[in-house]
Structure 1
Amino acid sequence: MISHTPNFTGWSAAILHREDSNTERLMRQFGLLGIRATQQWLPLAAADLPDIVLVDADQGFDDLLPWEKENPPKPVVALLGSEAPGRIAWALGCGAGAIIAKPIATSAVYPALVMALSIHEERKAVADKLQHLEERVRLRPLVHAAVEKLMAARKLDEEGAYRLLRDCAMRRRLPMEQIAAFILGGAEPLPEAI
């Protein structure tokens, strides 16, 4: 989540929309914001992703965007003139973090860009945290095995062995899973009970 109002100067944008008065307004507004924009009604190439993508949600189709649904690598803004639930769902499914209603009002552009960027960064942070937690859960059997090894070697109960492992990790400023892997692999001597 962004904590400041971003400056989009120097950014690039792709407007995936047929050329019309809406795209003309967007191009003018992007020029004022210092954004280099291109407009096309062809599928976006994965190798040429801009900093932000604006997509026509009224006529958009799945192959227009080169990423898996709901997992955009860049912030996405949907351009929407319809109230059709299917078109709104399509925009959300593409990962849109903001919507600009058509006909486009220039005053709606900057707030939508800020919103899309904020939502995108928040999604990335949540995904990174989830990946970290999944990795820790995957490594929990190592911690359990290290606790059992400490219980047998140091004649401790489970709570005492866990506390010893945790204290060792805290002293070394390393994750418990890493210390457990070191102990099990023989790279770390068994810590002494304090």
Structure 2
Amino acid sequence: MYKLMLVDNDPERSASLEAALLNAGCYPIIRVGANEKLLHAISTHQPDIVLIDMQSPDRDTLESLRSVNREMPKPIVFFAAQSDMETTRAAINAGVSAYIVDDLPSKRLKSVLEVAIARFQEHQKLKEELEDYKIRLQDRKDVDKAKGILMQHRKLSEEEAYQLLRKMAMDRNMRMGEAARNFMAALALLGEMP
């Protein structure tokens, strides 16, 4: 099962949610207060999923959620007693995987956690694919620029310039984009960058 971290300042509400989680077979559960630094608590306890139970997310909570999403992303389920569309949207944009308003029947709790985890994993996969695409696009631009410089200065064909960069990358055990950036950085150091 997943290691859960329950964040709540209201001991009675927290105990009620913890009982529902235990009843649904969810444990171990780490309880922390909402006033604790969220990123530090996650770093310390290393939960698999974070549950936050409060009236409504305030500005500080949303900023903490953004920090967690940047630094140490985790599936986050937010239980709010009240909300509006703007607050819900802000919470989702801050990295919340599931945003539940009002009481949740304990029989649906486990499925909500599973959906939040699946949504989080899909979001992480999309973020990784986007980052990979950005890297490949930048590599392509840098390779084209380096090829252009080689073609101009060494009077090479495009294929010859490409093969030269490819050999440089293979000799140094690096990606073509890295080789192109290293080549251009060396030219810049020598003052020969066009």
- Post-superposition offset of 1:78: 1.6
Distance (whole Å) between structure 2 residues aligned to residue 57 and residue 81 of structure 1: 7
TM-score (norm: length of structure 1): 0.66
Distance (whole Å) between structure 2 residues aligned to residue 94 and residue 58 of structure 1: 17
Which residue type is aligned with residue 63 of structure 1? D
Residues 16 and 183 of structure 1, relative CA distance in 2, 3 Å threshold: same
Please name the residue that 1:64 is paired with: 61
Which residue type is aligned with residue 68 of structure 1? R
Unmatched tracts of structure 1, length 5 or more:
1-6, 187-194
Residues 67 and 99 of structure 1, relative CA distance in 2, 3 Å threshold: closer
2:10 to 12, 18, 24: 18
Distance (whole Å) between structure 2 residues aligned to residue 44 and residue 143 of structure 1: 44
Please name the residue that 2:191 is paired with: none
- Post-superposition offset of 1:162: 6.3
- Post-superposition offset of 1:38: 0.9
Provide the secondary structure at the position in 2 that maps to 1:99.
strand
From the two aligned structures, give the one with the greater helix fraction: 2
TM-score (norm: length of structure 2): 0.66
Is 2:94 the counterpart of 1:116?
no
Provide the secondary structure at the position in 1 that maps to 2:69.
coil
Percent pairwise identity: 17
Provide the secondary structure at the position in 2 that maps to 1:71.
helix
Please name the residue that 2:18 is paired with: 27
- Post-superposition offset of 1:125: 3.0
Please name the residue that 1:164 is paired with: 163
Which residue type is aligned with residue 176 of structure 1? M
Distance (whole Å) between structure 2 residues aligned to residue 162 and residue 75 of structure 1: 47
Residues 123 and 149 of structure 1, relative CA distance in 2, 3 Å threshold: same
- Post-superposition offset of 1:74: 2.0
Residues 70 and 27 of structure 1, relative CA distance in 2, 3 Å threshold: closer
- Post-superposition offset of 1:133: 3.7
Would you say how many aligned residue pairs link Structure 1 and Structure 2?
Answer: 175
Please name the residue that 2:88 is paired with: 88
After TM superposition, the structure 1 = structure 2 runs for residues 16-55 of structure 1, keeping only pairs within 5 Å, are 16=8, 18-20=10-12, 23-31=14-22, 32-38=25-31, 40-49=33-42, 50=45, 51=47, 52-55=49-52
- Post-superposition offset of 1:77: 0.7
Unmatched tracts of structure 2, length 5 or more:
188-194
Q: Which moved more, 1:163-172 or 1:46-55?
A: 163-172
Distance (whole Å) between structure 1 residues aligned to residue 37 and residue 182 of structure 2: 46
CA RMSD after TM alignment:
3.6
